[in-house]
Amino acid sequence: MVQGSERIISLASTNRGGMIRNERLLVLLVDDDPEVLERTKRWFEETGEFLCTTAPSAEDALGLLPGGGFDAVVSDFQMPGMDGVTFFKTLRAQGSRIPGVLYTGMGRDSVLEAALAAGASFYVRKGVGTRAELVELAHAVRAAVALGDLT
């Protein structure tokens, strides 16, 4: 099991050109809850593996993505305006292949299926923001980036 984790970390440390990256992964966090954004950003950046930019809506995130150099996007599902599934559909319709993780408290199978069909690489169930939950989210981001590097 450790080998699989090491493989994901190793793959996540390369960019699409196959060159080794020494910098942190650039992640765009999208959520309408400012406390979730701040907690997630703080924890991710404290790991030393990520630099995060936050957006309070999918619409704001769409404005930040062009030229932002992001390695991945983490989005909530239920937000005012555009929801997370529609956000991923919009990204794919625009030709973006940025790896994405849907991070939501909505635990229905239909949301999971819709998110994956819309182009999200992973789905992580949002709870109260425990360390274990954030570790799982970080793992999903690294894995999504690794999968994106393989395509």
Q: Per residue in 28-80, pLDDT tens?
A: 999 999 999 999 999 999 999 999 999 999 999 999 999 889 999 999 999 99
Helix (H, G, I), strand (E, B), or coil: what is residue 51? strand
Q: What is the pLDDT of residue 23?
A: 81
Best CA proximity match to 120, nearest among 83, 78, 74, 79: 74
Q: What is the pLDDT of residue 2?
A: 31
Q: Which CATH number fits domain 24-142: 2.60.120.380, 3.40.50.2300, 3.40.30.10, 3.40.50.720?
A: 3.40.50.2300
Q: What is the pLDDT of residue 108?
A: 79
Q: What is the pLDDT of residue 107?
A: 75
Q: What is the pLDDT of residue 150?
A: 64
Check residues 144 and 105 and name the one with the higher pLDDT: 144
Q: What is the pLDDT of residue 68?
A: 86
Q: What is the pLDDT of residue 4?
A: 35
SS (H, E, C) 57-113: CHHHHHHHCCCCCCCEEEECCCCCCCCHHHHHHHHHHCCCCCCEEEEECCCCHHHHH
Residues 84-100 have a mean pLDDT of 96
Q: What is the pLDDT of residue 129?
A: 80
Task: State the number of CA atoms in the 13 A half-sphere of 90 facing the CB.
Answer: 14
